[in-house]
Amino acid sequence: MSSHGTAIPMLSRKSGPLRGEAHVPGDKSISHRALILGALAVGETRITGLLEGEDVLATAAAMRAFGAEVIDHGRAEYSVHGVGTGGFAEPDQVVDCGNSGTSVRLIMGAMATTPIATTFTGDASLNRRPMARVTDPLALFGARAHGRSGGRLPLVLMGAEAPVPVRYTLPVPSAQVKSAVLLAGLNAPGETQVIEAEATRDHTERMLRGFGAAVETGEEGGARVITLSGQPELRPQRIAVPRDPSSAAFPVCAALITEGSDILVPNIGLNPTRAGLFETLREMGADLAYENAREEGGEPVADLRARFSPELKGIEVDPARAASMIDEYPVLSVVAAYAEGATVMRGVKELRVKESDRIAAMATGLRAAGVEVEEGEDWWIVHGRGHGGVRGGATVATHLDHRIAMSFLVLGLATAEPVTLDDGGPIATSFPVFEPLMAALGAEIERI
Ligand code: S3P
């Protein structure tokens, strides 16, 4: 459903070669963090290339509700006049984060060590998702949360009056939880530490350093230990947001499965904690190259060249790579449907608590399109049918999940019969220009 509450049914059909350049929008994770850290710095932070999707705009609205000034200069350029660490004002309305788990979890962290109360809510998808994973560690700082059963939204969070620093071992591999703890640690005295067994995306650590906070990353018994010195003075920054690898994944995968395709997706952030999909695709035999590799604003960046790849092979995806491609499993399963043999994905329990249960949503839709899928609690296997082997012809449910919607639209570009979605509205949360961008490449995707 769109943010306005009307479902947008969509369809994709077998398309000719995809050609041209695909300029995907700014990175969602980095955009959220730029707004939040800008709001916690004193002075003007200038952001270019911000993702203007509904999720990030929810974070911008929340930062205004906490007292920061967020100015839209047009053409994805924003400035944020921050209020300083511990300077958040108490919002006088409920903070509605829409579909965005990153917004609510990071913002809960950012306010948890300031003595204010805030009520958070979201859409039907967000209000089903687990929040105790964040409110439990925030309670260690002295914050108190009162939510619905299972700690779900809507919930009220009361920030700590006299916060104490925390040492916390992540029970699940989650950058949102790690970031919530680090952001809470900003207004606690002394050192806050987060220990993660699996490396999750590290944009918060990188950006905190950029804003002048002391953040050390070390190793203890194979785990990553991140140490933040509390109560830094954050200095405003100029941030050029790289383009989102998780959005690039859709045109890239579309090109791999659509006969005759050859596309360029420029300026994609290739932080190693995010690039797992592209390595996996190459192992499957994808014709995918990094061109013009360079570093921009502290993040590795390259142009991706993707060409039709008729001889894709199913593989066992390295579970150690799961965190670095967690958002990309839905579209990987689409590529797997066009590969020869089975693609085995293990260690992916987190997929069950995303915007939807992504294993269930993809398995149901792929089966309806004629692809055999096996699944367990934390694994699934897609039995590929090879190029030209996927029937399609299904109508799939997107469950308020942008990545499910875009994945099935990609599937339909090479199926024998069109693929239909009940609702493409959620695509606007992360990739508002998906439809014109794909159309310009030659993809036959339409609203019905
Ligand atoms: C994100 C972390 C991941 C990812 C989400 C964005 C972030 O969630 O799925 O899309 O920006 O920190 P988890 O922390 O729940 O793994």
CA-to-CA distance for 7 and 1, rounded, in angstroms? Answer: 4
Q: Whose CA is nearest to atom 15 of ligand 1?
A: 174
From first to last of its 448 residues, what are the pLDDT tens digits of the chain?
Answer: 545 579 999 999 999 999 999 999 999 999 999 999 999 999 999 999 999 999 999 999 999 999 999 999 999 999 999 999 999 999 999 999 999 999 999 999 999 999 999 999 999 999 999 999 999 999 999 999 999 998 999 999 999 999 999 999 999 999 999 999 999 999 999 999 999 999 999 999 999 999 999 999 999 999 999 999 999 999 999 999 999 999 999 999 999 999 999 999 999 999 999 999 999 999 999 999 999 999 887 789 999 999 999 999 999 999 999 999 999 999 999 999 999 999 999 999 999 999 999 999 999 999 999 999 999 999 999 999 999 999 999 999 999 999 999 999 999 999 999 999 999 999 999 999 999 999 999 999 999 9
- CA–centroid distance, 107 to ligand 1, in Å, is 13
Ligand 1 mean position, distance from CA 130 (Å)? 13
327 lines ligand 1 (CB under 6 A): yes
Give me the residues paired with residue 193 across strands: 167, 227
Residue 393: predicted pLDDT: 97
Let me know: does 265 contact 418? Beta carbons within 8 Å. no
174 CB within 6 A, ligand 1: yes
Of the candidates 441, 184, 223, the residue with the CA atom closest to the CA atom of residue 323: 223
Token pair for 288: 């995918």
Distance 176 CA to ligand 1 centre (A): 5
**Residue 402's CB: how many other CB atoms inside 10 A?**
28
Ligand 1 near 398 CB (within 6 A): no
Residue 191: the pLDDT is 98
CA 287 and chain centroid, separation: 25
The response to whether residue 350 sits with its C-beta less than 6 Å from ligand 1 reads yes
Tokens 């998780």 appear where? 246
Q: Which of 30, 129, 133, 201 to mutate to test the pocket of ligand 1 (most atoms within 8 A of CB)?
A: 201
3-state secondary structure the chain: CCCCCCCCCEEEECCCCCEEECCCCECHHHHHHHHHHHHHCEEEEEEECCCCCHHHHHHHHHHHHCCCEEEEEECCEEEEEEECCCCCCCCCCCEECCCCHHHHHHHHHHHCCCCCEEEEECCCCHHHCCCHHHHHHHHHHCCEEEEEHHHEEEEEEECCCCCCCCEEECCCCCHHHHHHHHHHHCCCCCEEEEEECCCCCCHHHHHHHHCCCCEEEEEECCEEEEEEECCCCCCCCEEECCECHHHHHHHHHHHHHCCCCEEEEEEEECCCCCCHHHHHHHHCCCEEEEEEEEEECCEEEEEEEEECCCCCECCEECHHHHHHHHHHHHHHHHHHHCCEEEEEEECCHHHHHCCCCHHHHHHHHHHHCCCEEEEECCEEEEEEECCCCCCECCEECCCCCHHHHHHHHHHCCCCCECEEECCCHHHHHCCCCHHHHHHHHCCEEEEC
> What residue's CA is closest to ligand 1, atom 9?
327
Report the distance separating Cα 334 and Cα 336, nearest Å. 5
**Which one of 29, 194, 431 would you pick to mutate in the ligand 1 pocket, going by the greatest count of ligand atoms within 8 A of its CB?**
29
Q: Is the pTM of this model over 0.95?
A: yes
Q: For a substitution probing ligand 1, which of 107, 133, 174, 378 has the most ligand atoms within 8 Å of its CB?
A: 174
C-alpha of residue 102 to centroid of ligand 1, in Å: 6
Q: Residue of the nearest CA to atom 11 in ligand 1?
A: 29
Q: Residue 47 phi/psi, 5° resolution?
A: -120, 130
β-bridge partners, 420? 11, 395
Q: Do 441 and 254 contact (CB within 8 A), yes or no?
A: yes
**Per-residue pLDDT at 299:** 84
- Nearest CA, atom 13, ligand 1: 174
pLDDT attached to residue 5: 75
Is there an atom of ligand 1 within 6 Å of 323 CB? no
pLDDT at 327: 98
Atom of ligand 1 nearest to the CA of 32: 11
Residue 386 CA to ligand 1 centre (angstroms): 31
Residue 96, pLDDT score: 98
179 pocket-lining for ligand 1 (C-beta < 6 Å): yes
Among all residues, which ones are annotated catalytic?
Answer: 327
Q: Which domains does the chain have, with CATH numbers?
A: 10-26+242-447 (3.65.10.10), 28-230 (3.65.10.10)
Ligand 1 nearest-atom number relative to CA 174: 14
> 49 C-alpha vs ligand 1 centroid, how far in Å?
20
